């Protein structure tokens, strides 16, 4: 196995790191505290190609692959876990999904706008009583005339309050169960769509909302794939967005490690930095080891996809599960050996 990044991947990572350090880190805490959505910053990320890694050049992308997507996500997440969510919203969960399943007309209409962030995106699956059991959703798109009438409520939808276009899942034939689920590309300013902002305890620069759909008229051209393709589209897209989440968790864990090392080098007890104490060295060593293991799992899953093994659901799940656990453990250790008044407030 070759663990060395290519020159292209090194350049992509460095560009993302420089942007994150110069543009995001100085304002990330303030934006999150004040619930500021950084639309201009998201636009800059689009201009730099951060949302085009999975998209061919003909649709405005860079076609640099899943590893590039993970590298960008990791570096952005080191600066702000909130802002890194834009990559899943603009690229992985929307533009790439349309690339895989859309008509040529849909690709031309939506993908360049999403990749450039001229139009913000979301994808709506979850409902109040339909979380992990996605096939129990109640939203319906009933065929009527030359289109569909969409009714239902989607909740905890990332980017719902700011999105201009969404991929919304609904049953077109409930009696057919999973074979009756369909996916639609929906312009979010259509009559009958209302969005309510939902409050969270964190990630305030990553807005979340509830989407109410009341007799929303959709043309037949809005369906993604075909009638009944929704389950296939949904379950094939989730491993892609999971990998983005895994890379985001990795970046956030790395940020906590960076802060821990910096703090241990600066704080002194008994006339020496606390980094000199073996107890703290052991904690740092365990953090670093877990983060490196997380990185290997994330990068392996990304490289498998880039090599053509797009169905690596198990390996992607390994990466997300492990990275999510690491990003919970690392800050817990950090707080154990810091005094409460000395905990850095600007951990993303």
On whether residue 2 sits in a domain, the answer given is: no
State whether 162 and 87 are in the same domain: no
Q: pTM for the whole thing?
A: 0.92
Among 168, 146, 151, CA closest to 159: 168
CATH number for position 266: 1.20.140.10
For 221-277, how does the pLDDT look when each residue is reduced to its tens digit (9 = 90+)?
999 999 999 999 999 999 999 999 999 999 999 999 998 899 889 888 899 998 899
Tell whether the model's pLDDT for residue 128 goes beyond 50: yes
CATH number for position 140: 2.40.110.10
CATH number for position 14: 1.10.540.10
Q: In which band, very low, low, confident or very high, does the pLDDT at 2 lie, cut at 50, 70 and 90?
A: confident
On whether residue 347 sits in a domain, the answer given is: no
Q: In which band, very low, low, confident or very high, does the pLDDT at 179 lie, cut at 50, 70 and 90?
A: very high
Total domain count, the chain = 3
Residue 248 is part of which domain span? 232-342
Q: In which band, very low, low, confident or very high, does the pLDDT at 6 lie, cut at 50, 70 and 90?
A: very high
């Amino acid at each position: 196995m070759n663990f060395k990044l290519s020159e292209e991947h090194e350049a992509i990572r460095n560009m993302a790191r420089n942007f994150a350090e110069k543009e995001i880190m100085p304002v990330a805490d303030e934006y999150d505290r004040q619930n500021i959505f950084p639309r201009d910053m998201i636009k800059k990320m689009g201009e730099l190609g951060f949302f085009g890694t999975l998209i061919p050049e003909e649709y405005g992308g860079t076609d640099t692959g899943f590893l590039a997507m993970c590298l960008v996500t990791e570096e952005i997440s080191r600066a702000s876990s909130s802002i890194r969510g834009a990559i899943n919203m603009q690229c992985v969960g929307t533009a790439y999904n349309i690339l895989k399943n859309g008509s040529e007309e849909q690709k031309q209409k939506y993908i360049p706008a999403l990749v450039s962030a001229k139009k913000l995106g979301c994808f709506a699956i979850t409902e109040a009583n339909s979380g992990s059991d996605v096939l129990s959703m109640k939203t319906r798109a009933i065929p009527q005339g030359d289109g569909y009438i969409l009714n239902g409520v989607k909740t905890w939808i990332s980017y719902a309050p700011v999105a201009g276009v969404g991929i919304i899942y609904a049953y077109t034939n409930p009696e057919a169960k999973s074979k009756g689920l369909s996916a639609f590309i929906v312009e979010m300013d259509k009559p009958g769509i209302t969005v309510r902002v939902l409050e969270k305890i964190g990630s305030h620069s990553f807005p979340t909302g509830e989407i109410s759909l009341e007799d929303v008229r959709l043309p037949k051209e809005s369906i993604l794939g075909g009638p009944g393709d929704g389950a296939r589209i949904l379950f094939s897209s989730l491993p892609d967005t999971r990998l983005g989440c895994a890379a985001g968790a990795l970046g956030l864990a790395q940020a906590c490690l960076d802060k821990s090392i910096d703090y241990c080098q600066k704080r002194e007890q008994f006339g020496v930095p606390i980094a000199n104490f073996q107890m703290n060295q052991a904690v740092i060593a365990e953090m670093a080891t877990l983060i490196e293991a997380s990185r290997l799992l994330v990068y392996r899953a990304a490289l498998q996809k880039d090599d053509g093994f797009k169905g690596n659901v198990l390996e992607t799940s390994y990466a997300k599960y492990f990275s999510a656990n690491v990003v919970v453990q690392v800050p817990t250790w950090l707080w154990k050996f810091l005094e409460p008044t000395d905990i850095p407030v600007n951990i993303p």
